[in-house]
Amino acid sequence: MAEDRRTRRTRRSLSDALVELVLERGYAAITVEDITERADVARATFYSHCRDKDDLFTRVTGELLAELAERLRPLVPETSAGFTGKPVLEMFRHAREQRDLYRIILRGEGDGKPLRMFTQEWARTALEVFRTRAERNGVEPRMNPELLARAWVGEQISVLQWWVEHETPPLPAEEVARMLLDLAIHGRYWASGFDPSA
């Protein structure tokens, strides 16, 4: 038990050191030595947890995605007939809590691999939800479901990237989620001020 706590504490120290250093210097400029020094962890201890800094960044991103998935699970009812906006709101709340980590992922640090991981997982989740919702409600998508999921996720990631880069978010998470929900339901034509029925 004590070892588990110590392991968790070490991993947290390494994660925090990575995020702080990337924000200060950029990913390419930091070394394993920089990370261990900032985390106050021996190099041998680092290598008992990770192969290199890329492995650490991948693991930290994976943990973030697992945590987000756990928070989203109860918000995606299988029988939902339409968009609720709740999963999007939860993602923005999660990003608010883990702002610095989201910032370095969404900036494409680490040769963009963590951003690709994030995008892939979010697109996979969206596709699964869209397909399940269509099947359970007996509707046929008018667009390729994969393209639809990617478009939806691309919008969210772009907005999220803009949102987390502000020290004080330009809009509350609830308002952003509501706007994205309106955009999903009514479309860009409506959102731009035009009357779709005209």
Mean pLDDT of 130-154: 90
Residue 156 banded pLDDT, cuts 50, 70, 90: very high
Residue 198 banded pLDDT, cuts 50, 70, 90: low
Contacts of 19 (CB under 8 A, 6+ apart): 60, 100, 101, 104
| CA dist., res. 182 & res. 186, Å (int) | 6
| CA dist., res. 138 & res. 133, Å (int) | 8
33 and 102 in a single domain? The answer is no
For residue 197, being part of any structural domain is answered with no
Q: How many domains are contained in the chain? A: 2
Token duo for residue 158: 């772009």
130 and 40 in a single domain? The answer is no
For residue 112, being part of any structural domain is answered with yes
| CA dist., res. 36 & res. 197, Å (int) | 61
90 and 27 in a single domain? The answer is no
Domain that holds residue 117: 52-191
Q: Is the pLDDT of residue 152 over 80?
A: yes
Distances (CA, A) of 185 to 119, 126, 161: 22, 15, 22
**Could you tell me what percent of the chain has a pLDDT over 70?**
94
- Domain end point (choices 50, 75, 91): 50
Token duo for residue 71: 């928070």
User: What pLDDT score does 23 carry?
Assistant: 97
156 and 104 in a single domain? The answer is yes
For residue 196, being part of any structural domain is answered with no
Q: Is the pLDDT of residue 74 over 90?
A: no
**Contact status, residue 54 vs residue 110, Cβ threshold 8 Å:** yes
Mean pLDDT of 34-53: 96
38 and 60 in a single domain? The answer is no
